[in-house]
């Protein structure tokens, strides 16, 4: 398939956004295209990287993710400190909601073979299961947002931002120590396998991780907030439910908040998360134009389980205040304590999810 029609469509979309919406949204769309191109081109999968470490003792994917976090944090934390009125961190409250949501998300993403960004780029590449999971992700994310106040009532503490608590240098130092510890554990695990040479370094993934980090920082500068995925999904679901008369946002604790309520009344093209999500889809589609994909056929049982996992991805990611992007990448790189909690619980969930994935024959 020729890439020329896709290139022209993307170019026209950029121009249309610049003319009818804003230059910022046009630029954010291009950032999303770059993200989708890197994710699809390098097959940079957060879910896959964790699964390869667990099953094959291959630490290369996790090491690349740690590199992404280090680069993003090194640039984002000083920016947040110097421009506190213009940029915001991806802060989430440590809570029962976070613990349960992160664990469930970690398990579900292994069954669905994709987190938020993974579902997007694989759907853009035309992988049938991920294309079907995407609307289930939207429904789950919307319902999770609608129920969030009930989950937070089970117990929550105020968000903790390391940049505010110890300054940008202290925050980056603590973050670097945490990344080194995780890297050491991953390398130790990789050396426990049967392979003669432990797998821990993949140059292609390292370069892709660095590229994603720079684009995440650019997203922060343009949008004024860190890279996110799942909020856009919840917004899509809320707008559909509201338009259909099935949902009253004024009666809901989450969607009656001024920022969320205003987003419901505006075109989705003004939402920064939606724009980058659409860009990721477009970038992945552009990459897939030169690739022939032949995913293994699924049984009816696998389809049902996969779709259920997609719904749980959406619901749990809202409870956990993000996915691998919003909670892990953006949370940790901007100094949020909840990002570290998310990683610990999501990895524990992935240990279960990998077993369930094998059990159901994926």
Q: What is the pLDDT of residues 220-269, one digit of tens each?
A: 999 999 999 999 999 999 999 999 999 999 999 999 999 999 999 999 99
First to last CA, the chain: 29
- pLDDT of 292 reads 63
For residues 195-222, b (16+ Cβ closer than 10 Å) or e, as one string?
Answer: eeebbbebeebbebbbbbbbbbbbbbeb
- CA–CA gap between residue 297 and residue 302 (Å, rounded): 10
Closest Cα to residue 322, out of 24, 162, 109, 124? 109
- Residues 279-314: pLDDT tens digits? 999 999 999 887 666 678 889 999 999 999 999 999
Is the confidence at residue 195, as pLDDT, over 80? Answer: no
Output the pTM of the full model: 0.94
Q: What is the pLDDT of residues 88-128, one digit of tens each?
A: 999 999 999 999 999 999 999 999 999 999 999 999 999 99
């Amino acid at each position: 398939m020729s890439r020329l029609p896709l290139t022209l469509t993307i170019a026209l979309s950029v121009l249309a956004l610049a003319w009818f919406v804003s230059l910022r949204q046009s630029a954010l769309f291009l950032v999303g295209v770059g993200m989708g191109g890197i994710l699809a081109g390098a097959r940079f999968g957060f879910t896959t990287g964790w699964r390869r470490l667990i099953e094959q003792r291959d630490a290369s994917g996790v090491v690349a993710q740690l590199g992404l976090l280090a680069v993003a944090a090194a640039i984002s934390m000083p920016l947040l400190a110097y421009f506190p009125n213009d940029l915001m961190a991806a802060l989430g409250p440590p809570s029962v909601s976070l613990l349960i949501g992160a664990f469930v998300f970690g398990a579900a993403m292994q069954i669905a073979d994709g987190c938020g960004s993974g579902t997007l780029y694989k759907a853009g590449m035309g992988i049938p299961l991920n294309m079907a999971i995407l609307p289930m992700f939207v429904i789950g994310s919307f319902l999770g947002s609608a129920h969030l106040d009930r989950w937070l009532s089970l117990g929550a503490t105020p968000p903790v931002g390391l940049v505010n608590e110890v300054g940008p240098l202290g925050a980056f130092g603590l973050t670097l120590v945490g990344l080194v510890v995780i890297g050491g554990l991953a390398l130790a695990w990789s050396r426990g396998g049967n392979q003669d040479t432990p797998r821990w370094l993949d140059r292609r993934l390292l370069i892709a991780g660095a590229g994603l980090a720079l684009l995440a920082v650019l997203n922060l500068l343009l949008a004024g907030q860190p890279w996110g995925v799942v909020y856009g999904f919840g917004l899509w679901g809320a707008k559909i439910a509201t338009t259909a008369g099935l949902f009253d946002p004024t009666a809901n604790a989450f969607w009656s908040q001024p920022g969320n309520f205003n987003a419901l009344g505006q075109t989705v093209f003004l939402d920064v998360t939606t724009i980058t999500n659409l860009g990721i889809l477009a970038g992945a589609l552009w990459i897939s134009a030169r690739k022939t994909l032949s995913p293994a056929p699924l049984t009816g049982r696998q389809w049902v389980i996969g779709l259920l996992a997609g719904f749980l991805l959406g619901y749990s990611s809202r409870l956990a205040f993000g996915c691998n992007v919003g909670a892990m990448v953006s949370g940790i790189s901007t100094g949020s304590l909840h990002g570290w909690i998310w990683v610990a619980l999501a990895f524990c969930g992935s240990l279960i999810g990998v077993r369930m994935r094998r059990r159901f024959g994926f």
